[in-house]
Structure 1
């Protein structure tokens, strides 16, 4: 989506059903609070693996970093984890704090999750140590597992299976939520990192709409910390801020989608957003100079957390620069020297290769041409993915070309029959929700995914904007999405 003017902006095959959690409760001696407590839960289990979570509460002096250690007694093997640096040596598993969650005040808690394999039996660890201090926990799981709050356990690991998104148990999932704009433009304008608050309360407000997904647009120059970016808003500071927002989104049980929105490369042709070579507007295609490096870095950052979804490039529009649709789709997939574009283009295949080359198997979304509104030849030109974990992304607004059921039936339905389809942006500039109501019904009828643009307090006629306040107060437009999500997931 194009933004308002700056003045306005002040998986596992063979999985079985979810078994619920097995939680190790906290034990206190004679009512005395333990030095630390750990709640360990098995949130789902299948024939060869399981997903677990730990919730650590510190009752000692405040600490600036933490490390939790425990032992697997049944031969379990850690495979990946999130919200901590996870490792295993022999039977001992260690979860060390990340830079964004190391501070743990007295009485404060932090949660982290992991996936591990098991065979034969899956006994619960019997002892835990936080920074070398023993934590008091019971040694036996509850005989009757109780369901846990999904927000505590984090979002599912998703993968493409046929034309569906499925979790580790093989259950079909949908991505339903919002976009949280700001990370793509504030930093390059020297005004900060995010537009508006991204504290826990503001993220909880999104979850209160019963959203299960938050898409987070990014800027490649800010992530890479290029010299033109104020260091306060670029490089490590930018990356840590993104990681912190991802952690908050996950803490409320929602799937984070990190997406590349603004990129480098000078384009002054048809429909140019700006004449600037820097990443200060939407370009027709990613650039070979920086975008593969961006995705290699993002993939390395999140490859051990497969709950994070990667959206390769916001809204490609090589069709506005090239003379034929075939040239546009070839440019979209293969990049290189594209007609009408003055810089070397990174195609979708280049970006898939960058992600997979970093060792990340996370779900990838790839939007089509015409600002991601045209998927007519997506199946013909889809990039090869060695991980087989690729979905199609599509954007629609009431002013787009493909904005009616006839077009959806002819161009979207064939794609949705073969691969998962995610409408990464839906919206209208009428400050009403009649159009997105039609979109949501079409997608609901087919079990597909969609995300509203955008969770920012802009003028809904120039944004469009879902909210008038970061406490979740909706605009007239946002009311349609909020009420619909609550009806679906309430």
Structure 2
């Protein structure tokens, strides 16, 4: 997000205790092959509800449109679903295709997930029908209901890793990053005004946790972290690094995941949509620079590589598409860096930054945002960097004034990415001092079990920031009240 003028400058929790997933295996008797197979899993469970998934495999002729039906035996009720259209009438649940996953060829599979309420019992369904055809015919009966008293994961933020298209903790539980951005560390130091914009003491961080946020994204400045000579010494180098470490520790102490993110970088750019003409890290540049950014990430990774609860967000909002003449050139610049058309400094591509992090031995989850200020993920899968640790996720930003700001675009460009890797909306917001737009964003992401973080936990004007709060005690703006109430409803 571009900042205002300096003058104004789901996992369900609560009392719930999650459990490791239990899957209904498909074991065919006497080698028979059913027309379709369904794997039903309970991935987490708590006193009054649970999260589950279904994986459908079509073993017969190709389908152009599909619908799966099954019955709950103990009064369970689906309250949310993603990866498909979910509905329920009495005990019968119907799962049907979205517009983008209706084709199901022979041997092809499709998966979806859901959250449901329950009482004490939670027996798994025993019969599934795909387009009226019984699945798992000839298979052994499913196992009994999983236990209801698993170990409590506690208040510490989880050690995270990527598994397929989900973020998981060490116990195999799916985790969503739901929270806020805490802006300040990217601009205060380079402007010679401090390190943070507003208080970051324990009370201020507790106020974030009181919104039932589980994640705080912390934007940083590479020149301040590296202690370059243009930064005041009191805000640079060890002083800056220690301040970041302290904030990360406070975020973790309140049970929240810290996301450390590189926001402002070195490199002179005066082309289309330039935020400033300064060579120094005083605004958002179109791409990171090879001169300092790999060194920044080497240092950050060495600092946090022994803490898998910390997530790395490589670069805030790339926009090489504003400098280059073609979309292909933009995506090539994004991944490979080097000499990019329209950008006068040597660019560090996303692959360079992944390599810098992994060369330290750090295996932390990495987020990589797309082009067009991270609003375009249309070719993210084609150009995604290679990650030897297998812990790479996609980042995306959206505001009501962005190009990709409607469900049609999200269905066509985000859903395919989210089907393959974890997707985190690192910034969501609107400049209307209302929350109707972010309400739509959150619903789309909730329906698919994805992550999102509101911009921003700073006391700016809600139409120019946009700002979530009117005070660091957590008093929301008319924009922020939407996110606050939604997080509290999700996480109790």
Using the size of structure 2 for normalisation, the TM-score is 0.71
**Residue 373 of structure 1: aligned partner:** 375
- Tell me how large the CA RMSD over aligned residues is: 1.5
Of 272, 275, 297, 1:273 maps to: 275
Task: Spell out the pairing of 1:143-162 with structure 2 (5 A cutoff).
Answer: 150-151=154-155, 154-162=156-164
Structure 1 distance, partners of 2:247, 2:157, is: 14
> Which SS does the other structure have where 1:150 is aligned?
coil
Structure 1 position 205, deviation (Å): 0.3
Task: Spell out the pairing of 1:186-201 with structure 2 (5 A cutoff).
Answer: 186-201=188-203
**Residue 391 of structure 1: aligned partner:** 393
**Residue 333 of structure 1: aligned partner:** 335
Cα deviation code 1:135-186 (max 9, x no counterpart): xxxxxxxxxx9976833xx200111110111111111110000000000000
Structure 1 position 243, deviation (Å): 0.3
**Residue 230 of structure 2: aligned partner:** 228
Structure 1 distance, partners of 2:19, 2:469, is: 37
Structure 2 distance, partners of 1:188, 1:421, is: 31
Structure 1 distance, partners of 2:151, 2:366, is: 30
**Residue 324 of structure 1: aligned partner:** 326
Structure 1 distance, partners of 2:254, 2:453, is: 17
Structure 1 distance, partners of 2:410, 2:441, is: 9
Of 251, 263, 267, 1:249 maps to: 251
**Residue 488 of structure 1: aligned partner:** 490
Q: How many correspondences in the alignment? A: 357
Task: Spell out the pairing of 1:68-467 with structure 2 (5 A cutoff).
Answer: 150-151=154-155, 154-467=156-469
> Which SS does the other structure have where 1:186 is aligned?
coil
Cα deviation code 1:312-331 (max 9, x no counterpart): 00000000000000000000
Q: Which runs of 4+ in 1 moved over 6 A?
A: 145-149
Structure 2 distance, partners of 1:252, 1:187, is: 26
Relative CO higher for 1 or 2, CA cutoff 8 Å, sep ≥ 6?
Answer: 2
Cα deviation code 1:214-263 (max 9, x no counterpart): 00000000000000000100000000000000000000000000000000
Structure 1 distance, partners of 2:301, 2:310, is: 10
Cα deviation code 1:409-462 (max 9, x no counterpart): 000000000000000000000000000000000000000000000000000000
**Residue 130 of structure 1: aligned partner:** none
Structure 2 distance, partners of 1:269, 1:8, is: 26
Kept after mapping to 1: 8 A contact 2:19/2:150? no
Structure 1 position 17, deviation (Å): 4.6
Kept after mapping to 1: 8 A contact 2:186/2:221? yes
**Residue 72 of structure 1: aligned partner:** none
Structure 2 distance, partners of 1:306, 1:166, is: 11
Cα deviation code 1:255-278 (max 9, x no counterpart): 000000000000000000000000
**Residue 119 of structure 1: aligned partner:** none
Structure 1 distance, partners of 2:484, 2:193, is: 30
Structure 2 distance, partners of 1:205, 1:232, is: 27
Kept after mapping to 1: 8 A contact 2:181/2:454? yes
> Which SS does the other structure have where 1:476 is aligned?
coil
Cα deviation code 1:105-146 (max 9, x no counterpart): xxxxxxxxxxxxxxxxxxxxxxxxxxxxxxxxxxxxxxxx99
The gaps in structure 2 that reach 5 residues or longer are 10-17, 21-148
> Which SS does the other structure have where 1:395 is aligned?
strand
Structure 2 distance, partners of 1:217, 1:4, is: 15
Structure 1 distance, partners of 2:248, 2:173, is: 23
Kept after mapping to 1: 8 A contact 2:459/2:469? yes
Q: 1:174 to 1:146 in 2, by over 3 A?
A: closer
Kept after mapping to 1: 8 A contact 2:377/2:414? yes
Using the size of structure 1 for normalisation, the TM-score is 0.72
Structure 2 distance, partners of 1:428, 1:210, is: 21
**Residue 95 of structure 2: aligned partner:** none
Structure 2 distance, partners of 1:372, 1:158, is: 23
Cα deviation code 1:60-88 (max 9, x no counterpart): xxxxxxxxxxxxxxxxxxxxxxxxxxxxx
